[in-house]
């Protein structure tokens, strides 16, 4: 048996969803002949995560990310398959397990709305049976890392969204968990607050060697914290590996940005690569990775270059292309199934 803190094997979660036609007649029909369809929220995924890893868990809305985290935290029972976290079966919700993990959901809150955040912290101390000295030490660390001093005694309803999120994180980490499930922890926050939350998660990981699964639609969160990503779509695992390898596989080209010192009159820019943008004296090219050095040399020798930069395409574009390819594959499978049923 693997010693990794998180081991997932052939995990599935299926739902029966009632389909109702609109209007009064649809309501009557649903009483007589209720129709259901099966939704495969999580469909046979497997992966392992080692101690101290921060792994990005990516996918479009409805891909199965939150459902997976809820199964790993014990809030949902899987339809089939197994999951073990820190050696425990999550759905048993044993106290020894709950004291070592936490689930933070950016769109949910545990803080009591009309009370100061410190009151919720004290409740959590009692729930997790945290000794006074350990609680005081951890509270001091979290207050320093998240700059909580001016917030602890303010009513939660008077805090900004970013301030509430910092207090939510502190409340979830007072018991010093070794496994963190973070579901959109920076959603709705401004850029400055997103950066602060990312820095905090990274520092907590370094101090306590915590294992982290992070879902986020902000790719800056992922690129700043995660070397490895797991990509899911419609409940299926699409990719599990390094972010750099995903970029190289899906987008086998480099982005070359050129600032010219003179107008581009008469230059055949398409000779250097796929022109993404040409405005004024600024040009952006897509160049095959294998030809990057050769093309850059030609650009420097043949064009009046004032500045040039070479970088990977934005990770947002890479992830979007993964989902586009998955959608095309589903469409092909659907068409093949229809053809086979027609032939029959």
pLDDT band for position 135 (cuts 50, 70, 90): very high
Domains plus CATH for the chain?
6-13+46-247 (3.40.50.300), 252-311 (3.30.70)
Q: What is the pLDDT of residues 199-228, one digit of tens each?
A: 999 999 999 999 999 999 888 899 999 999
DSSP string, 223-279: HHH-SEEEEEETTEEEEEEEHHHHHHHH--EEEEEEEESS--TT--GGGSSEEEEEE
How far apart CA 233 and CA 61 sit, in angstroms, is 9
How far apart CA 87 and CA 251 sit, in angstroms, is 38
How far apart CA 38 and CA 84 sit, in angstroms, is 26
How far apart CA 107 and CA 69 sit, in angstroms, is 14
pTM confidence score: 0.83
SS3 state of residue 72: helix
Q: What is the pLDDT of residues 84-115, one digit of tens each?
A: 999 999 999 999 999 999 999 988 889 999 99
- Helix (H), strand (E) at residue 139: helix 132-146
How far apart CA 168 and CA 184 sit, in angstroms, is 13
How far apart CA 280 and CA 257 sit, in angstroms, is 13
> What whole-number percentage of the chain has pLDDT above 90?
63
How far apart CA 71 and CA 77 sit, in angstroms, is 6
**Phi/psi at 262 (nearest 5 deg)?**
-150, 160
């Amino acid at each position: 048996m693997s010693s990794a803190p998180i081991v997932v094997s052939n995990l599935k979660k299926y739902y029966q969803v009632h389909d109702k036609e609109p209007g009064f007649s649809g309501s009557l029909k649903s009483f007589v002949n209720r129709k259901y369809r099966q939704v495969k929220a999580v469909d046979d995924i497997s992966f392992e995560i080692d101690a101290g890893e921060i792994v990005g868990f990516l996918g479009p809305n409805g891909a199965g990310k939150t459902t997976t985290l809820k199964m790993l935290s014990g809030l949902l029972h899987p339809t089939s398959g197994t999951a073990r976290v820190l050696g425990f079966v999550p759905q048993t919700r044993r106290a020894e397990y709950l004291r070592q993990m936490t689930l933070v959901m950016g769109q949910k809150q545990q803080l009591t709305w009309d009370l100061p955040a410190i009151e919720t912290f004290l409740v959590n101390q009692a729930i997790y049976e945290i000794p006074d000295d350990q609680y005081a030490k951890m509270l001091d660390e979290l207050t320093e890392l998240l700059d909580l001093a001016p917030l602890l005694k303010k009513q939660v309803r008077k805090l900004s969204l970013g301030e509430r999120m910092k207090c939510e994180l502190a409340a979830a980490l007072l018991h010093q968990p070794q496994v963190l499930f973070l579901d959109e922890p920076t959603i709705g926050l401004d850029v400055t607050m997103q950066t602060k939350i990312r820095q905090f998660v990274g520092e907590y990981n370094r101090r306590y060697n915590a294992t982290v699964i992070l879902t986020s639609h902000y790719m800056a969160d992922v690129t700043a914290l995660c070397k490895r990503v797991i990509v899911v779509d419609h409940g299926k695992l699409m990719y599990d590996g390094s972010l750099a390898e995903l970029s190289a596989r899906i987008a086998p080209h480099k982005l070359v940005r050129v600032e010219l010192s003179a107008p581009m009159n008469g230059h055949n820019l398409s000779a250097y690569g796929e022109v993404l943008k040409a405005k004024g004296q600024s040009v952006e090219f897509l160049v095959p990775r294998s030809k990057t050095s050769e093309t850059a040399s030609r650009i420097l020798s043949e064009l009046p270059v004032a500045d040039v930069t070479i970088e990977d395409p934005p990770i947002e574009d890479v992830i979007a292309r993964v989902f586009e390819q998955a959608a095309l594959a589903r469409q092909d499978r659907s068409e093949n199934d229809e053809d086979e049923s027609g032939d029959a």
